[in-house]
């Protein structure tokens, strides 16, 4: 039985453009998160820590998914 194989070998592409895009998206998500949290009355530390985590995870996802 023949199996299907991707033309690119099945590897996830991680180009420089996707790295720059991931960094930009991560910074944007973190900035928006802090702005919204501060507007809703969260303290500075309570706004920054979740913002850093959300920005990091979304930036990594954009970089690895090559969006």
pLDDT digits (tens, 9 = 90+) for 28-57: 999 999 999 999 988 888 889 999 999 999
- Tokens 């998914």 -> residue: 65
For the chain, the average pLDDT equals 84
Identify the pLDDT of residue 18: 85
Examine the pLDDT at 66 and tell me if it is beyond 80. no
pTM of the predicted protein model:
0.72
Exposed, middle or buried, 54 (CB in 10 Å: 0-12/13-18/19+)?
A: middle
Identify the pLDDT of residue 32: 95
Query: CA Rg, the chain, in Å?
Result: 17
């Amino acid at each position: 039985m023949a199996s299907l194989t991707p033309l690119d070998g099945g590897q996830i592409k991680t180009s420089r453009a996707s790295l720059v895009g991931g960094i930009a998206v991560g910074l944007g998500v973190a900035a928006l998160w802090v702005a919204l949290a501060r507007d809703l009355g969260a303290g500075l530390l309570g706004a920054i820590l979740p913002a850093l985590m959300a920005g990091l995870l979304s930036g990594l996802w954009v970089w690895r998914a090559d969006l």
